[in-house]
Amino acid sequence: MKLRKDVAEVSRHLHERGWVANHDGNVTVRDGARYLATPTATSKRLITDRSLIELDGKGQVVGAGRVFGEIKLHLTVFERRPDVSCVIHAHPPNATAIASSRTNPIERPFIAEAFVSLGPRIPKIAYAAPGDAAAAALAPWCELVDAALLGNHGVIAWGADPEQALLRLELVEHLAKIAIAALPLGGVEPLPEASIQPLLAARAKAGIGRAADRALATAAQLLGSSAPPLATLAPGKPVVACAPAPHASVATISPSGGSPPAQDLKTVIREEIVRSLTSK
Ligand SMILES: [Zn+2]
């Protein structure tokens, strides 16, 4: 019952934030061998725990209700990510503006904690027709990232639970809003090259999902030609970690603060990120 309530709450939140309109958006969760899903043709404003439909392991409806047309996107993620229990798709305006434009200024997250939380790349997947083509376009990214822009469409994000998936989608939209706000100022500045390696190491140690676990192995693929030489990553670096939610409170520390020796993982990761950003 809690899972149903969580999905209903997330669905209504999508509407409250203005990230969906009409019948847009959908939320699914893995519930044992089955899935729970938001019903098709229903405003997310109206979703309650009783509205949800049940699907079997192949995405076929069990009992009453009709499934939404984008279910294959969700199933594609679930099939490839056994660590994922929730997938959320919505059309948040700023991220969807970028998804529908010719550029992707959030492709490389430009804020340290977003880099740790979402990884080195937020891909924009070229538009593909809904159904098998869209699912096939998403499939290669499922193991590599936890959120993606869908070209001329919206955002899809996934996580270990509804809260984590929602926070990832929120963070993509937040980055998009900032990137668009920065356009009159000349656009966002990429993170310093020297910061990439420690942030990748922080992400690899963060314990925030399979994509993070694989951060070092997949960095070259995700960063393309700007990939750091992974062999230079110092072995035995201090353990760095991140709160399970993507919004670890790393933004509030002062780079100039002389902090005491690390006593906990949050302190360690804050120091690690600050060090990486302030050292050349
Ligand atoms: Zn959609």
Share of the chain above pLDDT 90, in %: 77
Overall pTM surpassing 0.75 (yes/no): yes
pLDDT in tens, 254-273: 233 333 333 455 555 556 66
64 and 102 share one domain: yes
Average pLDDT, the chain: 86
Task: Calculate mean pLDDT across residues 105-112.
Answer: 97
CA of 258 to the centre of ligand 1 (A): 47
Give 39 Cα–ligand 1 centroid separation in angstroms: 14
238 pLDDT above the threshold of 80: no
Residue 148's closest CA among 125, 119, 114, 166? Answer: 125
Residues 176 and 37 in one domain: yes
The DSSP H or E segment spanning 219 is helix 215-223
The count of structural domains within the chain is: 2
Report CA(155)–ligand 1 centroid distance (Å): 8
Indicate if 101 and 171 belong to the same structural domain. yes
CATH code at 48?
3.40.225.10
The dihedrals phi and psi of 189, each to the nearest 5 degrees, come to -95, 135
Q: Are residues 87 and 132 in the same domain?
A: yes
Same domain, 70 and 152: yes
Final residue belonging to a domain, choices 135, 160, 185: 185
pLDDT value at 240 more than 80: no
Distance 167 CA to ligand 1 centre (A): 18
Query: Whole-angstrom Cα distance, residue 18 to residue 20?
Result: 6
- Out of 185, 210, 236, a domain closes at 185
The answer to whether residues 264 and 125 belong to one domain is: no
Q: Is 87 left (phi over 0), alpha (psi -120 to 50) or beta?
A: beta
What are the structure tokens assigned to 2, written together? 């809690």
Averaged pLDDT, 30-34: 96
* Full residue range of the structural domain in which residue 260 is found: 193-278
The domain boundary, picked from 154, 169, 185, lies at: 185
Same domain? 164 vs 204: no
Nearest to 252 by CA among 273, 280, 276, 237: 273
Q: How many A from CA of 195 to the centre of ligand 1?
A: 35
Give me ligand 1 centre to Cα 73, in Å. 10
Within the chain, strands assigned E span 26-31, 34-37, 53-55, 61-62, 86-90, 124-125, 147-150, 154-159
CB distance 203 to 118 below 8 Å? no
What is the per-residue pLDDT for 275? 60
User: Are 235 and 199 in the same domain?
Assistant: yes
Q: What pLDDT is recorded for position 244?
A: 36
Residues 261, 205 share a domain: yes
CA of 136 to the centre of ligand 1 (A): 16
Cβ partners under 8 Å of residue 56, min gap 6 = 33, 34, 35, 62
**pLDDT for residue 67:** 94
Question: What is the β-pairing status of strands 86-90 and 124-125?
Answer: unpaired
- Taking the centre of ligand 1 as the mean of its atom positions, its distance from the CA of residue 130, in whole angstroms, is 9
- Average the pLDDT over 140-157 and give the result: 97
Q: What is the pLDDT of residues 182-199, one digit of tens each?
A: 999 999 999 999 999 999
Query: Do 200 and 168 lie in a common domain?
Result: no
Judgement on whether residues 65 and 141 belong to the same structural domain of the protein: yes
Whether residue 151 is found in the same domain as residue 241:
no
Query: Does residue 72 surpass a pLDDT of 60?
Result: yes
Q: Quote the ligand 1 centre to 132 CA distance (angstroms).
A: 14
